[in-house]
Amino acid sequence: MAENIIVDVQAAKDEKYKLLLPQIKALLQTETDIVANLANVAAALKQSFGFFWVGFYVKKEGELVLGPFQGPIACTRIAFGKGVCGMAYEQKATILVKNVEEFPGHIACSSESKSEIVVPVIKNHKVLMVLDIDSDREADFDETDRKYLEKLAVIVAESIN
């Protein structure tokens, strides 16, 4: 079943999130397949905000493995504690990077990535995956993104059986 996400792309960032999150929650409630749901979440974020890269890295066999995403080809596997994704996983905390060149140990999957935010998806106190979003502009993410993407991570976690 195809769904439409309705967000005014000209609206302020917080207004976009306020419109988008309930729509994503409703979308996830109608499907039980995790791959389908993660793919739709990535697509909805990319469509609504025009981010350079949006995707998930899922915990598998002792590392983070590339899951559904939107954007250019990405790194396939990331070790826990390595790069922004691995650090967010290990710390169980969102990491917001205004300039990836200044992040020690940044893993450059694309030279076009300039800033990044990574949000862990946690259920029952365990990190299941991370939501990784890259921008091709420096300092593109702020506390508004952190606030709403952390809410989105809870919605995603709640949709997983």
Summarize pLDDT for 86-116 with one digit per residue, the tens.
999 999 999 999 998 888 776 777 678 899 9
Report the side by side order of strands in the sheet with 95-97.
Answer: 77-78, 63-70, 53-60, 126-135, 115-123, 95-97
Summarize pLDDT for 54-89 with one digit per residue, the tens.
999 999 999 999 999 999 999 999 999 999 999 999
Whole-number pLDDT of residue 1: 42
Structural domain of 66? 13-159
Provide mean pLDDT across the span 127-156.
97
Report if residue 6 sits inside a domain.
Answer: no
- Collapsing DSSP states into helix, strand and coil, what is residue 155? helix
Report if residue 70 sits inside a domain.
Answer: yes
> Of residues 112 and 26, which shows the higher confidence score?
26
Whole-number pLDDT of residue 13: 94
Report the CATH number that the domain containing residue 68 is assigned in CATH: 3.30.450.40
b or e along 3-26 (b: 16 or more beta carbons within 10 Å of the residue's beta carbon)?
eeeebeeeeeeeebbeebbebbbe
Quickly list H helices, the chain: 13-29, 34-49, 83-91, 143-159
Report if residue 8 sits inside a domain.
Answer: no
Report if residue 144 sits inside a domain.
Answer: yes
pTM of the model: 0.94
Residue 52: φ, ψ to 5°: -65, -45
Report if residue 140 sits inside a domain.
Answer: yes
For the cut 80, the answer to whether the pLDDT of residue 2 exceeds it is no
Structurally, the chain folds into a number of domains equal to 1
Q: Which helix (H) or strand (E) holds 132?
A: strand 126-135
Q: Which two tokens stand for residue 51?
A: 């981010």
Q: Quick one: pLDDT band at residue 3, thresholds 50, 70, 90?
A: low
Provide mean pLDDT across the span 11-38.
94
